Amino acid sequence: MLLFVGLGNPGDRYVGNRHNIGFMALEAIAKRHGIAPWRRRFQGVAVEGSLGGVKVQLLLPGTYMNESGRAVAEAVNFYKLGVNDVVVFHDELDLPPGKLRVKTGGGNAGHNGLRSISAHIGNDYRRVRFGIGHPGDKNLVERYVLQDFAKSERPWVEALCDAVADAAPLLAGAEDSSFQNKVHLAMDAKGFGALDDDKE
């Protein structure tokens, strides 16, 4: 079994925030593949289903972002998963808006959700990084990530979540580069620019 974790903050006031794109992506995957119903589990909400024949538990932590690791660790311990069975979907300031990268391990780039998860289960989990751009000044970062996506940004956010939902079985099958390429091609086809294929 794999554990797919979407990062975000719980509660209505955060739903449209840039910081919540991980939640948005997981909800799109569940909807696209008919995985339901969500139930209260692991200090959040979770649902179990299958992607491309691979059993997957989807988890949206109900802790706030900086405590995400508590929920993830509870699920990992319950299912006796290894750190390599965990895939975390999160916002990434260092990628331009609409870009996506998959990587294993690496630094947390000041992301409190990743820092919390790494503290609880180790660092070598897979990450699906959603570019949200950078406000240009590190002092503006906290306010920026907790703002809703602008109306003009919503089309690419929806297109990216849709593309990720379509390609999710590839990710479940550990075909990370195929997953990334399929998402890039879908974004290009929808008019959101060809994404380059360099690995970061």
Q: Active-site residue numbers?
A: 19
Between strands 100-104 and 126-131, the pairing is: antiparallel
Q: Which amino acid is at 121?
A: I
Tokens representing 17 are: 């925030």
Residues 57, 48: Cα–Cα separation, whole Å: 4
Which of 28, 53, 13 is CA-nearest to residue 158?
28
- Is residue 84 exposed (0-12), middle (13-18) or buried (19+ Cβ within 10 Å)? middle
